[in-house]
Amino acid sequence: MSDTITSHTLNKPVCIVTGGSLGIGDAVCEKFSAQGYTVINLDIQANSIQSKAIHWLKCDVSVSSEVSQCIQQVIKQYARIDCLVSNAGIHFSGTIEDTSEADFERVFGLNVKGAIAATKAVLPQMKSQKHGVILYMASDQALIAKHNSFAYNMSKAALASLAKTTALDYAKYQIRANAICPGTIETPLYHKAINSYVAQSGADSDQVHAEEAALQPIGRLGQASEVAALSYFLASDEAAFITGSLQVIDGGYTAQ
């Protein structure tokens, strides 16, 4: 990132996306950038084909000190943060008996502690400017349970709670917080989970994908671009009265 601040960059809204190199995070970065935001992607790895307009900062989001340092760098550079999309996360399959303490801590370290660290780091700037939007990428599993998903399910429910409490505590500063709850979205994370299941069960990959699509009332998987579009709407002034909410985007799955 350049050390030179221009009046043009100061006038552009700034969005920080954690875990913005792949899947939904990548789509969110591209959407906000296309809409005129300065976008900073905090991720442990870069995406070589991501738009060059998106600034990548290497960051292990599970390490709170790294998150804080990167966000302080953004504040120093741009003197504003308009939106945080707390998206970084990992999936883990297993029942409570199948989940070791190390597995649990790894899931919560990124999915929940990472979100907490990012929230704490952006709040002082958002409070001072009396404006800001925080979006947590939760899951339909913030609302319902799924088999073999003890730790992941709990982590996403925690993000829903974080959105609600943050919304209430910081509404007086005109800071809004919401949780986005995607259903089954076709992303690298989805494909990794399916591949893991296929390897363990010996099931046919094409059949598993077809079954996943058939489980959705709308008859298909969701796309990362659709979640990005919802994210952008929630960050916009058109959503100025929406805070503390769980925004479901799941093809009707949780309505069943």
Spatial distance between the Cα atoms of 65 and 82, rounded to a whole number of angstroms: 21
Q: What share of the chain is helix, strand, coil (3-state, %, to 5)?
A: 50, 15, 30
Stated length of the chain: 256
Closest to 176 measured CA to CA, from 109, 103, 119: 119
Report the alpha-carbon distance of residue 67 to residue 71 in Å, rounded: 6
Number of neighbouring beta carbons within 10 Å of residue 58: 12
The C-alpha atoms of residue 112 and residue 157 are separated, in whole angstroms, by 10
Write down the catalytic residue from 37, 78, 136, 152.
152
Roughly what angle, to the nearest 10 degrees, separates helices 224-235 and 23-34? 50
136 is catalytic: no
Q: Report the catalytic residues.
A: 152
